[in-house]
Amino acid sequence: MTPLRVVGVVLAGLGVVMAAFPDWFGALTGGSIPAADAFEAVERRIRGGMLLGLGLLLVAHTELRPWSSTIAASAFYIVFGALLARVFGIMVDGSDSRQWMWVAGESLVIGLAAAWLRRAGSAG
């Protein structure tokens, strides 16, 4: 396993912990102050999810070139991590209509990035 993948695994693990327990990382997530509503409670988990996505990116995508694939993979994995954290937060903290709007938007971004990656993979 390359050092970059080891860093990716560590970041992904830290992201999972941050998404699951945002109160432990109050300075980074704003978790030290009680959340006013379910929307804020779910939003505190998103930073951990983005860190999870960055870790997944480092594990899965190890080369920078071609740049178009790197950009698409970055968008895919980071937004995928945020989406995982958001859905987990909705299950734990409660549902809010604004959160479902974000789920739809993030799903669209993931779909576009996946199509971009598929097209770039078939062209090469």
Spell out the domain ranges in the chain: 3-123
Widest Cα–Cα separation across the chain: 50
pLDDT at res. 30: 67
Which residues, 6+ apart, have CB-to-CB distance to 22 below 8 Å? Answer: 29, 31, 44, 45, 47, 48
**Structure tokens that stand for 87 in this block:** 């859905």
In angstroms, rounded to a whole number, what is the distance separating the alpha carbons of residues 87 and 60?
22
Task: Compute the Cα dihedral for 41, 44, 48, 49 and give only its sign.
Answer: positive
User: Does residue 122 surpass a pLDDT of 70?
Assistant: no
Mean pLDDT of 93-117: 95
Which pTM value belongs to this model?
0.90
Q: Residue 1 — pLDDT band, cuts 50, 70, 90?
A: confident
